[in-house]
Structure 1
Amino acid sequence: MTDHTPRFDLAHWNAYNTVQGTRPVRALCQRVLALAGPGTRRIAVDLGAGAGIETAAMLTAGWRVTAIEPAADTALTAVPDSDRPALAHRPSFVQDALPLPHADLVHASYALPFVPVADFDRVWKAVREALLPGGYLAVTLFGPNDAWAQDPSIAPGRLTFHSRADVERLLDGLDVVDLDEKDREDRTTRGTKHWHVFEAIARRAK
């Protein structure tokens, strides 16, 4: 097993969440919040919420948030107590949390690639069905050049990877606001690896 091979047990995700507390809000979340405007008590769904850094940003912006995060021991520790009345937590993996609530914002940063291939289509269908008219979708997906796609120690089908054409097909029928592709070496919590990542922001028509 390589240094960067992900594991899939709750102990791993608890350890991952524990070291997330000091990082900034991810740029994908910042961009979609700026586009969507003040939450004004609208509903957001945060898939793979982890320690809750992006969840906390949504709550601060005035959203009510349903956070999906399986590692209950370390979930959402970044969320202040004062914001928790507007937070609902589902302690499960994304593929086990369906159906999702209807929402004006669905955010999934570094979550959907960890949905197994066998479950991905129904998860994506649920994500699309959850999005209300005028609602925003912000997602990270992994491309085929990612180091984990080439790692023989990862069981086939355990992670899901998409080509650019796949990503464009997944977004078909939505208004694509931004589609950014990164194919380069970058850091992880355990060093560096080659990332091939698509970050997409799209909107359902009103």
Structure 2
Amino acid sequence: MAPQFTLYSHKMGPNGWKVAQVLCELGLEYETVMKEFGDGENGMKTPEFEAINPNGRIPALVDHSNGDLTLWESGAIILYLVKKYDPEHKLYPADISEQAIVDTWFFYQMTGFGPYLGQAVWFTLFHPDRIPSATDRYVAETHRNLKVLTGRLESEGSNGWLALGKMTIADLSFLQWVRFLYKININIEKDYPTVFAWKEKMLSREAIQKSTVGEVW
């Protein structure tokens, strides 16, 4: 039987892997189509893929059981999955106030932690010119955000999770991004041991491992 979902992803793109991890945590069957950067035959900047995601980026998800509904943007995809396919509220609560707490940390990853870390990686590794002021700014902001995560994970009642004292989509949204920190020479085991312990706890989960976790360059 064909999988229910087709996930378009990239072997190193953290946003694709966090969708895969949510799918696995919910026990949903999917197949992954790995895309490449650029406008080559398998690229994200081709008319064929831009018909799926007009922004020409991963991830994108097609739900074949719901009229081939096609979604893009990782946050929108994940919220769709938990609202439609998480009736037991394993990853996303039913109560609207609790949803707001989860959403706060979930959107913080997408609007704060992820963009700062992404820019830090870009200016450290890929920008054609060395711009120390830009690199230093984004690395410093990543350190600041790691202190925010540490404070939350160590707060009273957190139970070592970001929201509601249990694992939610908030935690899943951060995991793959945290795994890239070594690329900007941040050693979280040494400098942010609470975040490191949280990461290892996440990676030990059977569903996370089933997602094949994702490559880290």
Q: TM class by shorter-chain length?
A: under 0.3
Q: TM-score, normalised by structure 2?
A: 0.27
Q: Which has the larger radius of gyration?
A: 2
Greater share of residues in strand: 1
